[in-house]
Chain A
Amino acid sequence: MIPFDYRLAPDVDGAVAAATGWGGVAFLAGGTNLVDHMKLGVAAPEVLVDISRLPLDAVEELPDGGLRIGATVRNSDLAAHPAVRRDYPVLARALLSGASGQVRNLATTGGNLLQRTRCAYFQDLSTPCNKREPGTGCSAIGGYTRQHAILGASAHCVATHPSDMAVAMAALDAQVTVLGTSGRRVIPLVELHRLPGDEPHRDTVLSPSDLITAVELPPLPEGTRSLYRKVRDRASYAFALVSVAAVLRVEDGVVRDVRIALGGVAHKPWRARRAEDVLRGSPVDGSPADEEVFRRAAEAELAGAAPLAGNGFKVPLARNTVVSALRGLSREER
């Protein structure tokens, strides 16, 4: 490990102040991702600003029926929160399908959003990687790509974002509150993460001294259902090959509202707008005929997929998972 400065953030403004003006700075929350990367040498911040004790650990029910989730709320606490379980099952399930109980007890909202890719080359210092060391090249392209992206990748990086929670939040139209050197701003979650383009070292639109303080979930209208489905190599404690967060409201046999996000397929939680467009206004009545609509929707989204040598399976798998999730939602009793 390389020596670094450690500062305990006194308060929220102080955290941002402490982080300002440094080249290599990182906020330390649960540390479950950052500390691993520091040990591996993937991250080498000069200064660590510890935000784990800031008073950002509350989940508040908002007057409009929405929810404000503090940045340091632990994943376990969020998953167990009654309002989350009642109103946003997609989020509770996404959280519970991630990592292990031990990791979730430490992991925070902010840290989960900003966790970095699990691309094997990113974590292997002996191989070139544009995300870790800009300009060195991408070892995944032409290498082992089973886990990699099928949507929105570039010739510079084909990594995926590993978070489950973020996929659910993308489908919930979450808004991220950020405190930066020049004040507070709100970023739609779907715009927080970037596509790699020619700057794959930038995962998000944030700058290093930007502190996430909260994530807000807008209320869901009465009758909305949501769920999260994750396909992985074993029954627990594994990252998603493909996952789907789906939010659906059907009234009088017609889709009134639908929001779908895919995980494991892109550099960011992938909001499936094309699929949503196909579905919105379509008749859905729990009959076998629905399948056709769901399938068309999924295929519309995946028409632009560009699989790599090792991950062609993700295209049909993503399609099947979307169909399966929608089928599940449209038939869900309750």
Chain B
Amino acid sequence: MSLTPAELTSAVSGGIGSSPQRPDGNLKVRGEFAYASDLWHEDMIWGATLRSPHPYARIVSIDLTEALQVPGVYAVLTHQDVPGQNRYGLEHKDQPVLAEEVVRYQGEPVALVGADHPETAQRAMKRIKVEYEVLTPVVDMETAADDTPLHPGGNLVRHVPVRRGDQHAEAEVVVTGRYEVGMQDQAFLGPESGLAVPDEEGGVDLYIATQWLHVDQAQVAAALGLPLEQVRLTLSGVGGAFGGREDLSMQVHACLLALHTGKPTKMVYNREESFYGHVHRHPAVLYYEHGADHTGRLVYVKARIYLDGGAYASSTGAVVANAATLGVGPYDVDNVTVDCWGVYTNNPPCGAMRGFGAVQAGFAYESQMDKLAEALGMDPVDLRIVNAMSEGSVMPTGQVIDSAAPVAQLLKLVKDKPMPPLSTVVDLRDMPGGVSNTTHGEGVVRGVGYAVGIKNICFSEGYDDYSTARVRLQVINGEPAALAHTAAAEVGQGLVTIMQQIVRTELGVERVTILPMDTSIGNGGSTSASRQTYVTGGAVKAACAAVREKLAKLAASRDLSAVDIAGTDLTGVDLAELLGDEVIDETVEWRHRATEPIDPETGQGNAHVQYGFAAHRAVVDVDVELGLVKVVELDCAQDVGKALNPQAVLGQIQGGSAQGLGLAVMEEIQTAGGKVRNPSFTDYLIPTVLDMPPMSIDVLELADPHAPYGVRGVGEPPTISSTPAIVAAIRAATGLALTRVPVRPEHITGT
């Protein structure tokens, strides 16, 4: 009774495979969309967070006296005011809601102020006296495990070994390298914000910009010491996420203030606070050794990967597993020895960010592939194709790839694209350095680089990953109308549109309303791991199927059984007539096929649900004299299984590639001694329109038979291969080794 893509013959427009207008699109472009920072409530107060200025310190005393005396202050709270468990975390509950005896990172919340105006709150906050005994921070990820323990049990969050084949394999050609990846920020534009409204019975409603309502709800309820039903969350307008909203920021804080004062409480971070208020991408140090025979076939890959998790675990464990299991890239390798460690330090906490461990490994293994090609005197694309995995390949974890893995095809697609012409007219916007007239074309060298990457889609390692969808069908004003409800967060990626498209296709109903996302329905899972179209899309599709079954029964009872509703399509069925006054309302919990935990000693196991692949070709112009890089063109080929919304697919590929460009040449949170030195958009640089080149994109649609409609997650793969392709191009232009990203002018000009 499920439809395969080929059978889809929906009569209504705006179904899957088309790119209907997003309901939020016009509003956003016109600046009328209500983001969480626009939330407002009569009589609300404002919360502010006092944060630690030190990366590591003992709290000797906290004196609130003066802060409480500031007129307009309603409450000043510390860890003593946390009624429930003063610990939260995605994988380990190791992070205090408000610090107790120690602070472990600069920016750690210590106290909260609730006041009648944000300025009053700020003023009172400055009157809180905290005496710290400053301790020496642990900041080196490679030695952290043996350094001062920052948590009971020491500083190793997780070690994942992967062992496959001969551990002592030898090869004719061997290349080794040490690579570094700087700390990247999600840099979403809408800062953290939320509004907590207390109810009459001691519970609270929280309106919040988040990625995952239910995991927030569970953590907030535990910290407040309330049963789940007394903590209700509703998604508010989210201005981007990229992983940075998977952990709690002010969720508990706003609720604490609201419950304490009995007043609706709003909190909004400013840009600087936002840099302290969310996790970042793990910086990494990666040691690799690749061995190959003279034809280029990989004999073995060995890797030691260190990921800096910062002060609290967040999702470090899962990031470690990703970097380890995806650590050799989309290649067939029989003999693999990978070790990946995630550690605690006093650097900013790191967790989820688009690409999730696969980005760091991707930069290293693709750099190695280029190095190997050079050692072999081979073309770097040919070398990759010789080793490219394909359907039926076995991962280093022993997992067999059981759907399309068109790695070689993706590489050929980007390689065969026409080259951008060498510019003859000097348009300064096209020159390294851009409009500041920095380069006049002299000393500019062109380079071309390629990369391909692999990413797991959906949650892995045996996690019970599901989503819940409710679909309601009834006649409104004489027309059939559908309504869909989930708790899956729309963060800007276009999930709302996708859900509408699926309902249109499945039920043949044009009018589809998506209810606000909230916790009154079951878990929708996280908007991460490129999983929502797959999992929540799957749930909506399944709920539609349940609705159709009800329709079929209705038809039978009305003696309209001649119409086979469940089997084919709804063309020709007069739904309004069939439904009459009936309301069909179905809720379904939908799971993708199960995964397994990996063996802790060998890393073996069917850890992942699905794999996504993308390849990039980057063309750069480098002013070698001034160290300036202009990415002239960044082309991509990606398999998306099925493009439910082709425009959204292109948007994801462009955005992901841009984020990869940022990591390649500019984005890095600079830390010194555990302190962030550039917490602003003036100092933390993300690509502007002048830095991002045009893209030519090829989208393959090789359906995955295990996934709804054959979809394959889209959001993350382009982020992985974009970075190494650009760096490879800069290497090709300059002949430099460039083992660290971001590559900055000084890496090109030397010191």
The residues of A with any CB-CB pair to B shorter than 8 Å are 1, 93, 96-97, 118, 120, 126-127, 143-144, 146, 227-239, 241, 312-317, 320-321, 323-324, 327-328
Contacts of B670 in A (CB 8 A): 144, 146
Bound CA span A88–B630, Å: 28
B446 to chain A, nearest CB (A): 17
Looking at chain B's contact residues, is the secondary structure mostly helix, strand, loop, or mixed?
loop
Bound CA span A236–B431, Å: 12
Contact B626 A235 (CB under 8 A): no
Contact A312 B672 (CB under 8 A): no
Top 9 closest A-B pairs, CB basis?
A235-B434, A313-B746, A126-B53, A97-B436, A235-B690, A312-B751, A144-B672, A230-B436, A120-B677
Contact A234 B749 (CB under 8 A): no
Q: Can you list 23 contacts pairing A with B, beta carbon distance less than 8 Å?
A: A96-B436, A97-B435, A120-B677, A143-B677, A144-B670, A229-B438, A231-B433, A231-B438, A231-B626, A232-B436, A234-B665, A235-B429, A235-B434, A235-B436, A235-B691, A236-B434, A236-B435, A238-B685, A312-B751, A313-B751, A320-B625, A324-B439, A327-B442
A233's contact among B443, B673, B744, by CB below 8 Å, is which? B744
Q: Which of B445-484 contact A (CB under 8 A)?
A: none
Contacts of A239 in B (CB 8 A): 682
Contact A1 B749 (CB under 8 A): no
Nearest residue, chain B, Cβ from A314: B746
Contacts A236-B688, A241-B745 aside, 5 further interface pairs with beta carbons under 8 A come to: A126-B53, A127-B675, A230-B438, A231-B745, A233-B685
Contact B626 A143 (CB under 8 A): no
Contact B672 A316 (CB under 8 A): no
A114 to chain B, nearest CB (A): 18
Bound CA span A127–B429, Å: 39
Bound CA span A236–B751, Å: 24
A248 to chain B, nearest CB (A): 15
The residues of B with any CB-CB pair to A shorter than 8 Å are 53, 119, 122, 429, 433-440, 442-443, 625-628, 630, 665-666, 670, 672-673, 675, 677-678, 682-683, 685, 687-688, 690-691, 744-746, 749-751
Bound CA span A313–B443, Å: 19
B440's contact among A233, A312, A321, A328, by CB below 8 Å, is which? A328
A323's contact among B438, B625, B678, by CB below 8 Å, is which? B625
Contacts of A118 in B (CB 8 A): 682-683
Interface contact tally, CB-CB below 8 A: 103
- Knowing A1-B119, A93-B436 are in contact, say whether A234-B751 is a contact too (CB < 8 A): no
Contact B437 A313 (CB under 8 A): no
Bound CA span A4–B663, Å: 42
Contacts of B436 in A (CB 8 A): 93, 96-97, 228-230, 232, 235-236
Bound CA span A320–B687, Å: 25
B437's contact among A97, A241, A323, by CB below 8 Å, is which? A97
Contact B627 A317 (CB under 8 A): yes
B125 to chain A, nearest CB (A): 12
B670 to chain A, nearest CB (A): 6
Contact A229 B437 (CB under 8 A): yes
Bound CA span A237–B666, Å: 13
Contacts of A143 in B (CB 8 A): 672-673, 677
- Knowing A118-B683, A323-B625 are in contact, say whether A228-B745 is a contact too (CB < 8 A): no
A236 to chain B, nearest CB (A): 5
- Knowing A126-B53, A241-B745, A313-B751 are in contact, say whether A324-B682 is a contact too (CB < 8 A): no
Contacts of B690 in A (CB 8 A): 234-236
Contacts of A241 in B (CB 8 A): 745
Residue of A96, A227, A239, A316 contacting most chain B CB atoms (<10 Å): A316
Contacts of B442 in A (CB 8 A): 324, 327-328
Nearest residue, chain A, Cβ from B432: A235
A99 to chain B, nearest CB (A): 9
Contact B627 A234 (CB under 8 A): no
Bound CA span A97–B431, Å: 14
A313's contact among B429, B673, B678, B745, by CB below 8 Å, is which? B745
Bound CA span A288–B682, Å: 39
- Knowing A97-B435, A235-B434, A236-B688 are in contact, say whether A324-B666 is a contact too (CB < 8 A): no
Bound CA span A19–B433, Å: 42
Residue of B439, B673, B751 contacting most chain A CB atoms (<10 Å): B751
Contact B435 A316 (CB under 8 A): no
Contact B687 A234 (CB under 8 A): yes
B661 to chain A, nearest CB (A): 10
Bound CA span A144–B668, Å: 13
- Knowing A96-B435, A312-B751 are in contact, say whether A234-B691 is a contact too (CB < 8 A): yes
Contacts of B119 in A (CB 8 A): 1
Bound CA span A236–B689, Å: 9
Contact A316 B749 (CB under 8 A): yes
Nearest residue, chain A, Cβ from B625: A320
Contact A235 B677 (CB under 8 A): no
Bound CA span A146–B750, Å: 14
Bound CA span A171–B257, Å: 57
B433's contact among A127, A227, A230, by CB below 8 Å, is which? A230
Bound CA span A328–B625, Å: 13
Contacts of B443 in A (CB 8 A): 324
Bound CA span A127–B749, Å: 32
Residue of B119, B683, B749, B750 contacting most chain A CB atoms (<10 Å): B749
Contacts of B628 in A (CB 8 A): 231
Contact B683 A93 (CB under 8 A): no
Contacts of A314 in B (CB 8 A): 746
- Knowing A146-B670, A236-B436 are in contact, say whether A320-B626 is a contact too (CB < 8 A): yes
Contact A324 B433 (CB under 8 A): no
Bound CA span A238–B688, Å: 11
Contacts of B672 in A (CB 8 A): 143-144
Contact A234 B666 (CB under 8 A): yes
Contacts of B435 in A (CB 8 A): 96-97, 235-236
A293 to chain B, nearest CB (A): 16
B662 to chain A, nearest CB (A): 9
Bound CA span A239–B751, Å: 20
Bound CA span A236–B442, Å: 20
B689 to chain A, nearest CB (A): 9
- Knowing A235-B435, A235-B690 are in contact, say whether A324-B678 is a contact too (CB < 8 A): no
B187 to chain A, nearest CB (A): 13
Contact B626 A321 (CB under 8 A): yes
Contact A235 B688 (CB under 8 A): yes
Contacts of B429 in A (CB 8 A): 235
B625's contact among A235, A236, A237, A324, by CB below 8 Å, is which? A324
A108 to chain B, nearest CB (A): 19
Contacts of A315 in B (CB 8 A): 751
A243 to chain B, nearest CB (A): 8
Contact A231 B627 (CB under 8 A): yes
A73 to chain B, nearest CB (A): 21
Contact B626 A227 (CB under 8 A): no
Contacts of B53 in A (CB 8 A): 126
